[in-house]
Amino acid sequence: MSDDIDSFIQKFQEEMLKQARETYGEIFFKRWQQPLYIGVLEDADAASLLKGSCGDTIEIFLKFKNGFVEKALFQTDGCAPSIVCGSFAAELSIGKTPEELLDISAETIIDKIGKLPQEVQHCAFLAAATVHSAVDKYMIKQIHKDKGTAIEEDKKALNQKHGSVQGVSRKSETILNDRNVAEGVQN
């Protein structure tokens, strides 16, 4: 009896895998079976987590070096199409500048996969949107970082110009802190 059940389960699994290959194609199937670029990047320069209309979430992590994505990883709690789309979104991100990352679209991901049924293409849109959201967060951090650097340089210049007179330094500090607050920069 148990041999019959084991045989039935094995045949059922083989048929399901065969149907998946036919429906999604070989590239999809291989990436689903062995997803690449999956994991959490603890020292990411930017990360974003988005939830799709289906309830799946995809999170993208980007690490930059010299203005280019050096490493990209993703994680998802979603279905096979979310896994594959997140994997290809991470792969497509590597070696790109922030501006080039914005060229990653659902269509780019679908083209890379080769075949993705219409009813699951929302996963490609979710993966692309997650990359774009991570880029937005990265750029905002860079703007704040640049403003913070500029403010520190302004402080040094004012202290050099006015010497170490405490009253002037405090006034300069107050002016610069007021500018920080107005520009939304945190020290």
List helix spans (H) across the chain: 2-24, 26-33, 80-93, 98-101, 106-113, 122-162, 166-183
What per-residue confidence (pLDDT) applies to 168?
36
How buried is residue 159: exposed, middle or buried, by Cβ count under 10 Å (0-12/13-18/19+)?
A: middle
Residue 47 and residue 115 share a domain? yes
Looking at the structure of the chain, the number of domains it has is: 2
Q: Do 44 and 70 contact (CB within 8 A), yes or no?
A: no
Q: pLDDT of 139-168, one tens digit each?
A: 999 888 777 665 555 455 545 544 443 433
What per-residue confidence (pLDDT) applies to 159?
53
Name the token pair of 47: 């990360």
Residue 77 lies in a domain: yes
Residue 117 and residue 38 share a domain? yes
Residues spanned by the domain of 150 = 141-183
Choice among 7-11, 42-46, 86-90 with the minimum mean pLDDT: 7-11
Confidence of residue 124 (pLDDT cuts 50, 70, 90): very high
Smallest CA-to-CA distance from 73 within 97, 27, 42 is with: 42
Residue 9 lies in a domain: no
Angle of the 80-93 helix axis to the 106-113 helix axis, nearest 10: 100
pLDDT at 172 over 80: no
Choice among 30-39, 79-88, 152-161 with the minimum mean pLDDT: 152-161
Residue 105 and residue 40 share a domain? yes
Predicted model pTM: 0.75
Smallest CA-to-CA distance from 73 within 35, 37, 48 is with: 37
Residue 69 sits in a domain whose CATH number is 3.90.1010.10
Place of tokens 């084991």: 6
**Max CA distance (Å), the chain:** 93
Distances (CA, A) of 158 to 72, 149, 150, 181, 186: 41, 14, 12, 19, 19
pLDDT at 27 over 80: yes
Task: Give the span between the Cα atoms of 124 and 104, in whole angstroms.
Answer: 10
Length in residues, the chain: 187
